[in-house]
Every structure is written in C-alpha cells, then in structure tokens.
Amino acid sequence: MRSSMVAVTVVVAVFLSMGAAAQKLPAGAAARAPRAEASPRTPQSGHVFVPQSSIERSEDAGLRFHTNYVFHSADGSKPTGLSAPQSLAGLSSGISPDTIEEAETPNSLGCLYVSSPSARSTGCIPNYNSGSKGPSKKGWGAIALVDAYDNPDAASDIKAFDKYWGLSAAKFTKVYANGNGDCSTPPPDKGWSVEESLDIEWAHVYAPAAQIILVEACSNSGNDLFYAEEVAISYIQNNFGGGQVSNSWGGGEFSGENSYDPIFAGWDYNYGYPTVTFASAGDSGCGAAYPSSNPWLTSAGGTSVLRNSDGTFNSEACWGGSGGGSSSYETYATSFSGSNTGPWADYQYPIFGEASRQTPDFASDADPSSGVYIYNKYDCGGWCVVGGTSVASPSLAGIVNRSSNYLSTWFGYSVDSYGYFTNEENTLLYAQLPTATAYYKNFYDITTGSNGCTVTYNWDYCTGVGSPRDLLGK
C-alpha cells in the first residue's frame, strides 16, 4: 500500500517521548479492566429506514465497509425527496417524560454546540425557513471527507444546501482516490451519495471558512478506503497546511486491523502540519467498530436532542443506536508497534488503566428523530432527514476545526524527517474529565438513554466525555 502513495513521502523513525515512556504504572492497573455493562437500549421514537449501504454484514469485516447513516421515515419506508425543509411533527422522545424530538437545522445545532448565531436563552429552536443561517464564518485549513464511490451531484448538492440556509458558499473540491489503479473514476452509488452529501454539508455548517474536500475511493473495499485515507491526509497537508479528516464509514473489528492504524495518523507524510482524524462509532449499539477503535483517531458517538413541547432545548441523551465499546484487538502494550494503547497513547489510562481502546471519545446529534436536513439529488431527490453517527463524525470535525487549536496526531520534524505519534485531540478531551469547572463548562455530561451499554456520569460507552458545549477544550 505504501508504494501507491500519491504524495511525496519521507522515511520516518518513531520514538517515544521520555516522559510517556518512563511513566510509572500503579500497582494493579492491569486488573482494572473496563466493563461495557449491559442495560436495555432506549426505545426510539418514530420510524427509521436503513439503506443497503448501511447494513452491516459480519462476513465483510476488514474487507468492505458500510455507511453509518439512517433515514428519518414517516412510516418505516424509504422517504421521498421533500421540496423544502419543514417542521416534522414533534414526537415523544421515549427517553425523558414530556420531551419531544424534531428535525434539526444549521441554526439550531449551531446554537446548541457553538452558541452561534444566537444565545442559548432563545432555546435554540429549529428554524426551517430559507435564509435562517447557521454558525458565523470561521474555520481554517481544510476538512477532508473520505467516502466510497461517486456522488455525481456533490457540488450542486452543497450549493443548494448553502443557498437555502443562507450559509456562505463552500470552497468545495472533489478528489478521486484512483492512484492505486482500481478505477479511473469511482462509479456512482446512490446509498453512498447520501453519505457524501451529509458529510460535506455538515462539516461545512460548523467551519464555513475551511476548504471542504470530498475524497472518493473507487469502492467500499478496505484497500480502496485505506488508500483514500492516505490521499486525504496528504492532500490537505500539502495544499492547505492540515486540518481534519472525517470517516463516516466503518465495520466490525477484525484480526490484523492494527496494521492499518498508522495510516489514520498520517505518519508517512506529515511534515508538522496539524491533522486530526475522526471516525463514526457505528449505528449498531453497544460494541466497538473499526476504524473507530483506532487509538490514533477521535471516535464519534451519537446523541438524541430532546426538546420541550414549545421547541426549546431541554437536554441530550444517549442515542440508542450509537456504537461504543471495548476493542478486542487494540489492546494495551508496552512495546511500541505503531498501534494499540500504551504509554504512547495513554489518554484513557486514568479511567481504565492498562486496558484496550474504549470508544467513543465524544459525541453529537445522531438520532434520526432529531436528525439533520441534507440536500441530496441523486438518491433523496431533494431534501431528506438523516441520522446516525455519520452525522456526528463530520459535525465534530467541523467543530474541532472551528476551535482553531491546530492539534495533531503526529508531530514530525521536517528538518530531519523524524517524529512521534501523539493524539493531542484526545489528550485534550480526556484531560478535562477530572476538572472541577472546565469539564461542565465545555461539555454536556449525558446521563440518560442507553445504547445497550450503561450510560452514566462523565465518560460512557455511548457519548464518551459528552457533547460539545461551545469551543473551549476542543
């Protein structure tokens, strides 16, 4: 795979910082193994339609990957295109008494997660009117969205999305990851086209000033998607000085996944440009998935946005479909091999000790009953409402981009081509958990709902450290 790189690469030697390598582990830490304790999954409001591209098949693990979105459906059938966004009848959430769920918009979630465009005192009520806007124009570098196959209408989809909501026009580029020779142009695919519209539109919502790069793999095979990941990281580093990469696809864990871990850190081609990678935690409830369990990236879990009967914001809960769990293959090690948790990736050590990778890291809206509007011509025929952790991954990538902390997963020295792994984004997220004030100021601590794992205060197997509350600590 390395020989097919499209970017100029350097030979690197990885070393551990002396502080991390010399860290003394407390006696008995290895016995503090995590437990994804089971609890009944929260009954979901409304109907869901799962497209073929999102169906998980056990025989595909490691070979092919699926999307992580589902449609909001009025009756359980595949929804048809809407002529324009509209208020869907508020459904009882089934999570908290006297709360409802509504389709969310750029202005409502922008208000909720980044306090823009209006203060939270307004209740962040969804506004479906054309021109209702969203977060103000901020962001830097680029956000790359890695997907399989082609959406032939991607450019016109994001243009229509921006025009309706009154958002600034996206600086959009489509890149074909075809340098591995598996295709000349990725073939179109309706199911993946919805994923691509969702990804580019909602990454752009939170970071309108960032370049939006859609990187299309030739297929949904592991070989093609992993190659596209290399293309994406290399492209945003060489052309825009870094940014974020979002992967809304995933699948079951598999033996040998560790060998692909370094690809997501950009270790072959990062010359010191800050880059953070994200992946959806999955839509199958309690359980780990790949690449979500990769220790070098940030895993995105899913929430339900609950509203009062008048539409004002009430709280968030764990979305019953959100993935999250304990990895079977990303185990704790003391000898560095480019993967696994260990002294070099110890952001979860204060919680779990010498344990395997636990997911997710943090979360945002993913419940299809509080799903988001997207514009997709090729499959939806216009507007539709979707949910799933495919919403969370590009959204969190956009929010982190907007925070402008310029963090990275690999720090390289261009002068001598040496560097080291360092998941700075996750280190920052987890460092706030034990704080007295910063954690509750910077995150919504989600304690209700269940994805089949027990949800509790602080970190849990559905929402990680919680969901964003403004931009500090991201």
Task: List % helix, strand, coil for the chain (3-state, nearest 5).
Answer: 25, 25, 50
All structural domains of the chain: 2-19+44-468 (3.40.50.200)
| Residue 53 CB partners (closer than 8 Å, separation 6+) | 66, 67, 189, 191, 192, 194, 195, 220
What pLDDT is attached to residue 99? 94
Alpha-carbon torsion, ordered 21, 334, 411, 201, to 10 deg: -140
Q: In angstroms, rounded to a whole number, what is the distance separating the alpha carbons of residues 157 and 153?
A: 6
For 17-32, what is each residue's pLDDT tens digit?
Answer: 222 322 333 333 333 4
For 166-206, what is each residue's pLDDT tens digit?
Answer: 999 999 999 999 999 999 999 999 999 999 999 999 999 99
Beta strands 298-307; 362-365: pairing state: parallel
Task: Name the residue type at position 49.
Answer: F
For 382-394, what is each residue's pLDDT tens digit?
Answer: 999 999 999 999 9
Whether cis (ω within 30° of 0) applies to the bond prior to 51 is: no
Q: What mean pLDDT is predicted for residues 226-247?
A: 96
Cα 380 to chain centroid distance, Å, stands at 22
How far, CA to CA in Å, does 102 sit from each of 92, 326, 334? 10, 32, 47
| 191 three-class SS | helix
Tokens 């409304």 correspond to: 46
For 328-374, what is each residue's pLDDT tens digit?
Answer: 999 999 999 889 999 999 999 999 999 999 999 999 999 999 999 99
| 308 three-class SS | coil
| Contact yes or no for 408/422 (Cβ under 8 A) | yes
Task: Give me the chain's average pLDDT, please.
Answer: 89
